[in-house]
Amino acid sequence: MTNPDTITELETQLAHTTRQAEELSDVVADQAKRIELLERRVERLMERAASEEAAGTGGVVLGDQKPPHW
């Protein structure tokens, strides 16, 4: 026969495992939202940089280039 203490211990472990899985699911969902937001921001920044480059108004000064006022 199965020991009642063993069943109780297994039920407790299952409850903890279930809770952890739910918490991890929430974390993954939150991270997915954040990643989506960051991807949209990066896309907008890339579009802005491309349009500035196409317009010749790029404001990025590379380390090996002197600023225009030099």
- Tell me which residue range forms the domain holding 37: 25-54
* Amino acid sitting at position 34: R
Residues 32 and 1: their CA atoms lie apart, in Å, by 47
* Amino acid sitting at position 45: L
Residue 31 located in a structural domain: yes
The total domain count for the chain is 1
Residues 49 and 35: their CA atoms lie apart, in Å, by 21
Quick one: tokens of 28? Answer: 């993954």
Residue 67 located in a structural domain: no
Which tens digit of pLDDT belongs to each residue from 4-46?
899 999 999 999 999 999 999 999 999 999 999 999 999 999 9
Residue-level pLDDT at 37: 98
